[in-house]
Structure 1
Amino acid sequence: MITLAYLAGSISSAVLVCRLFRLPDPRSLGSGNPGTTNVLRIGGRLPAALTLIFDVLKGTIPVWSSYFLGIEPLFLGFIAVAACVGHIFPLYFGFRGGKAVATALGAMLPIGLDLSGLLILTWGLTVFASGYSSLAAIVTVSLAPLYTYFIKPEYSLPVLMLSVLIIARHRHNILRLYRGEESRVWDKGKTNE
């Protein structure tokens, strides 16, 4: 299941959706990140929404399938991380992937709607208050282990594993935020994400 999760994660939704809509490759335009925010800047809401849905499913399907196979929480964490690593280093797309925020969210969805709701609310409020997609992702994944501890504590360690991976993937964004150089969601044509 870890291998299957990595292979599923390696399907670059952003690249495929951009090809479908005859848009430029998101790895060569805007921030260069094949993710929802960059697709939103390049192609608008519909391509971005499709990218988001498919990226979420890349995390949800392997983890949920594994849950129904009776796999223990710790190994569900490894499966979730594998899906995210596939998104970050996609086998089929030259190992040039995105930040895996939506895939990580998808991997956490099977824990429960209460956790999902808190994560989406946290992300939405942070974007609304700041305008920074990257900051919203960092804040959300930082709080995810805490939320999980109070909802289903047995999944705290797997969620912490995902959180560390996503925060590490945002290290450049953290530096740009600190320097005041990060682009906001509504800044079309900016080069960072």
Structure 2
Amino acid sequence: MIILCAVLGYLVGSVPFGLVITRAFGLGDLRQIGSGNIGATNVLRTGSKPAALLTLICDIGKGAFAVVVARWLIGDLAALAAGGGAFIGHCYPLYLGFKGGKGVATFLGTTLALTWPVGLLVCATWLVTAALTRISSLSALVAAAMAPIWALFLGLPWAALTMGVMAVFIFLRHHANISRLRAGTEPKIGKKP
């Protein structure tokens, strides 16, 4: 049942909401816009704030949905598996040839649903970093790195382990951003790459 929850979470996470929403809004193929990423930050580069907000909500929602349903049906271990599956599904979606997003919003939804205090601390970390730097990728990296630390601080070792693994994937998915951060060429929030 745990494996089944992970697989079902993966299938839910694989739904490319950014791509679906931009097409529904008549904004074209998101993979041909800006960075080509299917997440909310790139949707914002289309100039449509409503489409970006809807994408953010849906990408957060699919991680939270997977966790909540698995926990309700089976329990906490299943919730961890389903949340991890949803996160991997967003990063490597079955429906797009395993070429997906960077996982930040789905990571946030999973974290909020697994343990909302950690989720709120992750949100606060992102917001503070974004307010100080105006760089979305750096904010995501700092928030992801802090998530397992927050979980450990609150005495949640299993959540910390799950969040730590997801954080590693977020860093891997942001390799190009990290290179631009080092070079000082990473774009500010709302600007084209």
TM-score by length of structure 2 reads 0.91
How far is the alpha carbon of 1:120 from its aligned partner? 1.0
Correspondence for 1:97 among 83, 95, 100: 100
Cα distance, 1:79 vs structure 2: 2.6
150-159 or 166-175, larger mean C-alpha shift: 150-159
Tell me how far apart the structure 2 counterparts of residues 173 and 119 of structure 1 sit (CA, whole Å).
20
1:149 Cα shift?
1.0
Task: Please list, as runs of the form range in 1=range in 2, the aligned pairs for 1:96-175 lying within 5 A after superposition.
Answer: 96-154=99-157, 155-175=159-179
Tell me how far apart the structure 2 counterparts of residues 82 and 127 of structure 1 sit (CA, whole Å): 27
The C-alpha deviation readout for 1:82-131, integer Å capped at 9, x for no partner, is 21121112112232211010001111112333222211111111111111
Partner of 2:64: 60
Which has the bigger relative contact order, CA under 8 A and spacing at least 6?
A: 1
Counterpart contact for 2:44–2:190, Cα < 8 Å: no
- Alignment of 1:4 onto 2:8: yes
Q: Is the 8 A contact 2:80 2:114 kept in 1?
A: no
Report if the CA contact (8 A) 2:93-2:100 is conserved: yes
Please report the TM-score for the alignment, with normalisation by the length of structure 1. Answer: 0.91
State how far apart, in whole Å, the 2-side matches of 1:112 and 1:158 are: 12
* Aligned residues: CA RMSD: 1.5
SS of the residue corresponding to residue 54 of structure 1 reads helix
User: SS of 1:42's equivalent?
Assistant: coil
| Gaps in structure 2 of 5+ consecutive residues | none
SS at match of 1:43: coil
Amino acid aligned to 2:30: P
Q: Percent identity?
A: 38
Q: How many equivalent pairs are there?
A: 188
